[in-house]
Structure formats: structure tokens, C-alpha cells
A and B are shown apart, each in its own frame.
Chain A
């Protein structure tokens, strides 16, 4: 790595420094982008822009595309029924073909959610800069990479120049001290962090997640945490490289091999903040105090432990906040003071780029095993993050566990995380969801979303209401 350690550098500093191509006097830098992921929703206008200006992609080998938002999660042999969705996916296929970009197409086993397939393919590597026209690109920061979402104009900019104009963010360290208790997962950790700093707490920052509880997480868990950095307002979240990272990366299709591998690994171990690095802000969270989390409102910061009660706006002194709470409670159809565990759910969604990896499915299956979906739950669906995750889960027999419990087992994609395909909530329906956003209408107009971990979603599916996964039976 060119970031020769003279001491006092954060992980973010090191990656940033290694990617500056040039700087403007006001501090705006042109930074080099190593990897770009592309999906069908935010790319058509970018390709069109290239075409209109008569430009070509700068470096096609740095780009990987996949359709994920619009793809059906049911039988795909007939293609996509919705003509508008179909056109968008076909436009991606045509653009990738025309510009010579690698694409994992809808019926490719490697197809899946863009933030699942990048790491899975080894396309996501430590120390790289990674962008995608998608805010949850922060996921890839789990690998000690600088990864963030961009808009469509910037997608075009990166395609055309392999660079981006950026100003350096401030740096924040979120240190999660100690170890979490039973039933508490990466999702609960990140929801608790957002509850603590708020959805705008990380605005203007790149967050590094550290501390014992983060180090103890698998790569899947770290991806879950970094995925939701954007829900804390930070464009980028990252975790330092360690043995866990290197072990995950090794042997994947796009991962370096042989001498190149040894050389890469040697460089990657420098991808951590120096002991004397200074952060603009440090937040410390006590892992032991984190309980399984459930959101009650329409913003991820409206989150509480499962054993808490729905808050009362009358107790809130800040008028703007109290109004926000009132509006959220009304939308969510909840009364102040009600126990979270008394909230009954209509649907369960296990999936999304936050929680659709093999470990998430294992955690959910472990809860569901030998139990049945509750009678009041109309639909419980499990949507693997990619074709390869699906295949692996089936080899482990997880699909049968879900099916026997009355859960549905689907084809990979974004699905009901944002309901661009046919999977959605009806007005007023309440969902225990492992996704990342509980905004009004996110999972379907009038739908009510409660964000939880895979184990907690599974528990809600079998109990019919929220319940601490440790209290089940």
C-alpha cells in the first residue's frame, strides 16, 4: 500500500491517501475508483449520458453489473411479468453488452443483490475504493475498503473517468466494547448504534466500527453493520482488516492468487487505524447493554429493545421531535405505552442486503426449526441474497426447515426490502423485516415496517408478535 505508515493515520486516511489523483485548492479531490458495481435502477440514465456524449467506459474490467431490484422472486422461467420492470432489466442487459461490461444476468446462479454478490465473487477487496449507484454500498466497507453510494450522474462520471470528485469526510470511530449477550446479533448492534447517534449522527463522517464486539463478528456480521452506516447518516462505514477478512476473501473467483495473493495480504494487514490515529468524533457503546432491537417508528433511529414500551410523544420536550413521533405512531398504528412484545405482525420478510447471507439464513432457520408459522401471520418469506447463497442454504437443508414451518422460500433479489417487484405490503399491513429502512411506504404504500434481526424476524413469524428470541418457548 502506498499509505506508508508514518503514524497517526486512520484506516480512512490510508485508503483515501492511496487514491488521490489530484486536488483542487479548496480541498476537492479527484479520487480513483477501483471497483464499480452497477444495477438496473440507477444506471440507465448514466449509460444514456455516455452514449449521448459519445464516451466509452474508462476501464470495463473495473465494473460488475447485476439486476436485483426488479427481478421476481418467484419462478423466473417466464421472465418478468411487469413490462416496466422488464424493460429496465433488459436495458441493463443491453447496456452491458454494448459497453463490454460483465453482468451476472437474472438466470445466472451468481445473480443476487449487488451488495451480496460483490463480496461473494471476491470483486470486493480490502483497501479498494468501491462505488455503486446505491446507498447501501457502505456494506463493502466491512472489508477495510472505502465504499459508498453515489447518484446516477456520478455513476456516469465513474464509468467515463474511473474517478470521482470528492471532499474528504470527517472521521468517526464507533467502538463497541465488550461482548454481546445471547440472542444479540450484528443487526442489533447497528440498530443500537443508530438509536444512540441518530439517523443524522454520521452525516459528513466516514465511520470506522471497532472494538471487541465488532472484531468478534464474522464477515457477514460486519457487512450487516457497515450496510446500515448510511442509516446513521454516514456514506461510508468500515472495519479494519484482520484474519477474518483475509480468510473470507481467499479463494473467491476474482480474488488474486499465487504470489499476487501473498503480496496483497501483506499490504492488507496495514489496513487498520494506527494506535495514535485521531478521529474527529469517538462514540463508545457498551455491547453487554445491547438487547435485541425492534424499530417502532418510521425512521431507523426510532428503535428500542424488545422488552421496552412504545414511547409517548407527550414526554418529549423537543416539539419538532414530538411531532415526528406523533406522525410516526399514527402511521404505524401504535399507541404510546404499548409493550413492543404485544405488537402482532402480518408478514415476515427475511432478506435484503442487510441480512440475506448464509449466516443470516442459518440464524433464522435455527429459530424456525421444529416450529410453525403463527396463524395470524399471512406470509413469511425468505429471500436469499444470491443464487449461490440459495444453493448453499439448500445444501444445508435450510429451505426444508423454512418450508416445513410454513415459510416461503424464494429466488434471490431485493424483493420486499423496497417492493419494486411484486413483493409488497398492502396498506396497513405490519411486517417484521430484516431489511434496513422503515420509511413510510418503503415496503408498499401504507405498509408498516419493523426492523429486526433474522432471528428476531423468525421468532416473530412463529410467535405471531415480537418476542425476545431467547424467550421463545
Chain B
């Protein structure tokens, strides 16, 4: 996994609650058997005026000029600012891959759906929970000044505004450690293979019907 380094990035405001993973990446693109290439179809239904299908030349499609990602001032943003319950719905990790492939490194919201939150860490995308009033303020500041950018420091667990205001966020120790070092979970878990085998041996005695 890619290491998460301290970054400063332009903010894209996604001003609606309950943005679901079907909206982040519509189902027709889930037919892909790859992990990459989802960036051009991120938020597909909202982003383009014509319907999209896999295999199309997406560069030739008509963009919806009203959609936030298409507005010149937000293009190339790396931090998505969102409302509550971001990433709800389907467990598709393609939603994280699409954000990542587009170039989003951080999503800030007052709350996230559990599976999306969890999936994010696996691809090095950092989901940050900040209080609702702070998120509100960040939205206002983003709307107010073009090119608004935030600095995210995972080591220090802070989000810093252009005026120097720092907001602290929580992150599990273990996740932080994996993200900062770019560790692969599977490799870490396999270091405990003996413990897994010992568990299985014990469990097979207690609940033998599970090991038939």
C-alpha cells in the first residue's frame, strides 16, 4: 500500500448528505476485473449529461457544467469535503479506488458509513471525521475563496486551514501505523499464522461441526 505523506491539497465541496457508493461509482463500471481506471467515471451520473457505459471514450462525453468536479475552480482537487454519512450503501471498494484514481487523497466529513470508512484505509485514502460545525465552516471558507486548500498531517493528526487554524482529528493507532508505513495488512496478519492455527485447533475441539 502507498504511504500516506503530509499533503496540502485543493478542496472540492460535495455539499449533500448521504452520498452513496452507487453515486460514487455506478454499477456498470463494477464489471471491470481491474483495480484501476475508475477515476474518469467517478460520480458518473452526476458528472456527465449522457449515460455512461464501460469501454466508452469518456473524454468525448458531455460534462455537466453544474457539477462540482467540473467547475474550473475545483478541478484537480485532492481533498473532498463532504456531509454526513458519506459512502453509505454498497460495500464496493471500487468507490475508494475511483476517488483514489481521480486523485483524491483525503475525504473530510462529519460522519462516514462503516464499510466505506474501513475500505478507505486499505488503499491509502484517509477519511477524516470532523465535527459538524467545523465541516460547516470549511464549506463556507471553500465557497468563499477560490483555490482554497487544506494541509493534512497524519502524524500530528491535524487539518490546517490557510489562515493557520488547526483542527485535530482521531485515528486508530493501528490504522495510522499501517498508513504511515504503507504496510500491507495481509503481510502483518500472516506474522501471526501460528496464533491463527492455535485458534483453529482450539475451536475445532469446541465447535467441531464448523471444521467438517
Contact = CB atoms under 8 A, between A and B. Distances in A.
Interface of A: 1-2, 18, 21-22, 24-28, 30, 32, 34, 41-42, 44-45, 48, 53, 55, 58, 69-70, 84-85, 87-88, 91, 125, 127-128, 133-135, 137, 148-154, 156-157, 160-163, 165, 167, 169, 199-200, 203-204, 230, 233-235, 256, 260-261, 263-264, 267, 299, 320-321, 323-324, 327, 418-420, 437, 439-442, 445
B27 interface: yes
A53 B83 CA distance: 37
B113 A203 contact: yes
Interface in B20-58: 20, 22-23, 26-28, 30-35, 45, 51, 54-55
A420 B28 contact: yes
Contacts of B208: 260, 263
Given A53-B186, A441-B22, A200 B113 contact: yes
A351 B100 CA distance: 34
Contacts, number: 193
Interface in B175-205: 175, 185-186, 189-190, 192-193, 195-196, 199-200, 202-203
Given A45-B34, A203-B111, A323-B16, 16 more contacts: A21-B196, A41-B30, A44-B34, A45-B93, A84-B55, A127-B207, A134-B91, A149-B115, A151-B93, A156-B186, A200-B18, A233-B85, A234-B114, A320-B17, A419-B27, A420-B28
Contacts of B114: 169, 203-204, 233-235
B45 A151 contact: no
Nearest to B122: A153
22 contacts: A2-B202, A41-B30, A41-B31, A42-B30, A45-B34, A128-B210, A135-B90, A137-B91, A152-B93, A154-B122, A161-B189, A200-B111, A233-B85, A233-B113, A234-B114, A235-B114, A235-B115, A324-B16, A440-B22, A440-B23, A445-B26, A445-B45
Contacts of A440: 22-23, 45
Contact of A441 (B45, B119, B192): B45
A437 B28 CA distance: 16
B199 A32 contact: yes
B92 interface: yes
Contacts of B34: 44-45
Interface residues of B, number: 61
A420 B28 CA distance: 6
Nearest to A43: B33
Given A125-B210, A165-B185, A263-B209, A199 B122 contact: no
A26 B174 CA distance: 7
B119 A151 contact: yes
Listed from nearest, the 4 A-B pairs whose CB atoms lie closest are: A151-B93, A153-B122, A151-B119, A256-B209
Contacts of B147: none
Contacts of A321: 17
B161 to A, nearest CB: 22
B46 to A, nearest CB: 8
Interface of B: 16-18, 20, 22-23, 26-28, 30-35, 45, 51, 54-55, 83-85, 88-94, 96, 111-115, 118-119, 122-123, 172-175, 185-186, 189-190, 192-193, 195-196, 199-200, 202-203, 206-210, 212
A299 B18 CA distance: 8
Given A200-B111, A418-B27, A26 B172 contact: yes
Nearest to A156: B186
Contacts of A32: 196, 199-200, 203
Contacts of B23: 439-441
Contacts of A324: 16-18
B199 A21 contact: yes
Given A32-B199, A160-B190, A135 B18 contact: no
Contact of A157 (B28, B45, B54, B185): B185
A233 B207 CA distance: 31
A143 to B, nearest CB: 13
Contacts of B123: 153
A439 B17 contact: no
B91 A445 contact: no
A53 B1 CA distance: 13
B33 A161 contact: no
A148 B119 CA distance: 13
B93 A153 contact: yes
Given A149-B115, A324-B17, A445-B45, A199 B88 contact: yes
Given A84-B55, A163-B189, A445-B51, A256 B212 contact: yes
